[in-house]
Structure 1
Amino acid sequence: MQLQSFLEEAADGEKMVKVVEATLDLLRKNHLLDLVDSIIDVGFVKATYSYCLKASGGQEAVHLKETELFVRACCPSSMLAVRAMLKKQLGTHWEDPSLEMARLRRGNSSTCSGKGIAVECTGYALGRNVRRRADKTTGKIQDVKGGLVYIQLDSGDVAKESIDKILGNEWAVFTPKSEAEVLEDLSIYSPSTSVELQAFMLQAEIARQLQKLFDEQSSGIDKLALQTKPQKQLQASQDIPKGKVTLVPLTSKILHKGSSQPSWFEVTTDWTMDARKFYVSSSCVLPKEDDDKIKPLIVPFFFVNYTEDEANVKLQPMQAEKSSSIKIPVFKSTKKIAAGEVVLCYKAKDLKAPPLHLSPSAAKRSSSGGVAVAAKKKAKK
């Protein structure tokens, strides 16, 4: 074997022979003899010796501690010489722990040389895309054998490059760009087909119609006052004649959801793109005496309370049609409202009390029991 002949030439005497025997024993136990047999380059035999010893844990006294101690005791100078030689010739290639993983990926029976494993552990794995730095020639690593790296070029040819050139960084690994993807028919992605965009546009149109309706039809607000404590109540600050109050739900909160909340008011639209509906919700902010940073906003529409007593109803809910497709809810007064009266709108109770399940009375139980006993006696006769 070249490894044995090299070591025997490097140092005469029984001590070096024992080192050879110990090293071969390490190789045998770690299934690395086939790797050494495939090495042709004598220069890499030196590297293989250190690699095999380190892969087995010898140099670090991890796995085969007794062998390491033996080598250190018999020929420490030889070990130091081998380490210095490897450091000078190979740098850190053989110190990378990924070397062992590369060997395992290839299998213990691989005929790849030590340099081939070095090529893989430095990133030039089989199937990787590479580019030559000199002229930007590109290809894909196909195989590594006989001291050569076979590269399948994009042109269809196969290039043979020495491992030294690959390790010398003459080729670089790269990730090719994805192929161009073209959308031929953009009309199917037009704004008119976007559900979210169309919902936003309708939302904006509702806001525009709200503002217009508020400017044109809102009335009677100057004759109203808002009690804030102990509970919020909208009331008349002076007598208001019949039909002189129209409250519009002007707000910055226009929502489009699949379901509603009790405090939301639905805006009727001709929306058909999905099941969502459009609502307005209060964006009012009450003033605070101790906080000057608050920007108050009071829209009376959102402070109307409800009652089941029709005699006290002063407002009626209606729909204002500012366009053929949008109908906005408003409140209009249908009766005279006296000063100090609470402005109320009618609303029936949504929840009804469930019927009680009554048990039969004692008299009914006794009479029914007596009838049953009499029936039994009659049957026996």
Structure 2
Amino acid sequence: MDAATAVELLDAQPQVWHHFLGYINSMTLQCALELEIADVIHRHGQPLPLNQLAAAVKIPQAKAPFLSRLMRMLVHLGYFTQVKQQQKPEAEQDVPCYWLAPLSRLLLKENPFNARSLTFCSVHEHLVDPWRQMSAWLRTSNEDGKDTANVFAFAHEGKKVYEVCSEDANFSQLFSEGMAGDSWLFSRALVSKCRDAFEGLSSLVDVGGGTGNTSKVIAEAFPNIHCTVFDLPHVVSGPKQTHPNLDYESGNMFTDDIPHADAVLFKWVLCDWPDEPVLKMLKQCKKALTKNGVKGKVMIADHVLGHESCNDSSSMGTSLILDLLFMSFLEGSLRTEKQWANLFAEAGFTDYKITPVGGLRVLIEVYP
């Protein structure tokens, strides 16, 4: 190897390090949440010096330098900001103080839309351990008699994620709370950013709507819309949201008729499934929307991979990570606009419209 090649490879090495050490970002965030650093600073109400922060999160002062290094990384990641508190003239250096950054709001326990549970769920051994078996799963075929729909089932003796949830109450709670918090945040952005999509509707069916978080937000924002959550019997029979314009109907979206309405909503549902069942659901929707000669629309709150609203390098990288996450424990994927359009056409729909909502998500309105 000549010297020029050695230097070129040495310059490339940090990028490889950045990738194989990427788990440290996740673990740093988990540590910050377990220590409740954001909550402590928020309660203090102003930038908090390092020694006071250490005391507040019950870290011995002897380990304050380690906390300082952790905070340096959290500042770099954008969760906090660092300011300097001027000390007495005889002091050798200023004391670092830490304050909340806009991203910190997603860490606060008091906020119903916080990302705490989703973070703990995402770094849980149930989701992380299967990745250690990804190469083995990819090499497994039907002929081996050990093949599964995803690596999660491969690593959990054939069990799907909902079966593991039923056996592990803590993991199930993290999963449910995480999805509920995300639903709370997204739903409010949806009704604010896409008001025109809801104007003129008198009824809406929220397919796979769970405990009704999204439907309740819609019912509150649009009093003229009657919302029906359509989900499995064990879901709609449990604790759920209430509102005068909100009711629940049990059923299976694959085998039962979807209730007739002006609009059928899928929020983070279709990305969970491969094309064949999604196509079947869309055809079911078309029947529900065109009943009695009235034509409505399907509303899909989801991702469009590579859409112009989120195709910068950072957003695309996060989208590809999400796609692999879905591949690992579900059976679906993130779809490009062309893939969505092909499904709509095959299901008999004639047109669609995409409206960015925020972050990586969009609303797709699909018309018969």
TM score, norm. by length of structure 2:
0.22
Task: Identify the structure with the greater helix proportion.
Answer: 2
User: Radius of gyration: which is bigger?
Assistant: 1
**Structure with bigger RCO (C-alpha 8 Å, 6+ apart):** 2
